[in-house]
Amino acid sequence: MKLRELVKKFNLEVKCAADRLDRKIEGGYVSDLLSDVIANGRAGDAWVTLQVHQNIVGVASLKDLAAIIIINGRQPEENTIEKAENEGIPIMVSKMSAFELVAGLCSAGISGTR
């Protein structure tokens, strides 16, 4: 599935890097601990998190993640958006909780294992 389809299907609010939505999502990972994502996230993953500060961009860039999805309608900080735009990492906001969103992603065929 492409990010663009994901945005439509789950009614996500795209905060930045809207020109990078043609990337294919290879899988998913959910965690709020950055070191955990560094250890277990994989290139092409959609990362579900509640963190909004700019270090999430560094982690996503380091691991070449496909996108960051922030849950509970939390808004990323301004410098997070700015940094992500520069790095070309799409950040999307979902109104759903992590549990609901991940359940939805799984039934849409996005897997946590590869």
Partner 1 sequence: MWGSEVTPNVKAPKIRELGYELKVREAMDKNMITIGPDISMNRLRGTLRSNRISGIPVTEDGKLIGVICVEDLVNWLMAGARDCLVEEKMSKDVATLFDDEPLIHAINKFEQYGYFHFPVLDRSSGDLAGIITREGIIRSLLKRLEIDYREEEIRHYRASHVFEDMFADKTSLTFQYCVVGQDFNRAGESASALKKTLKRLEIHPEIARRVAIAVYEAEMNVVIFARGGEITAEVDPNQIRIKVEDSGPGIPDIEKAMRPGYSTAPDWVRELGFGAGMGLDNIKKCVDEMNITSTVGKGTHLEMSVAIKKESVSYEVKGTG
Residue 52's DSSP bridge partners are none
- Measured between alpha carbons, how far is 68 from 81 in angstroms, rounded to an integer? 11
Q: Show contacts with partner 1 in window 58-87 (CB under 8 A).
A: 58-59, 61-62, 79
Among 23, 54, 74, 100, binds partner 1 (CB under 8 A): 54
Name, in order, each residue with C-beta under 8 angstroms of 69's C-beta and a sequence gap of 6 or more: 12, 46, 47, 48, 49, 91, 92, 93, 94, 101
Q: How far is the CB of 5 from partner 1 (least distance, A)?
A: 18
Query: Which one, 26 or 54, has the nearer CB to partner 1?
Result: 54
- Does 49 bind partner 1 (CB under 8 A)? Our answer is yes
8-16, 52-60, 91-99, 104-112 -> range binding partner 1 (CB under 8 A): 52-60
Per the CB < 8 A criterion, the answer to whether 7 and 75 are in contact is no
- Measured between alpha carbons, how far is 97 from 76 in angstroms, rounded to an integer? 16
Query: Which one, 75 or 79, has the nearer CB to partner 1?
Result: 79
Contact positions vs partner 1 (CB under 8 A): 32-36, 38-40, 42, 49, 51, 53-56, 58-59, 61-62, 79
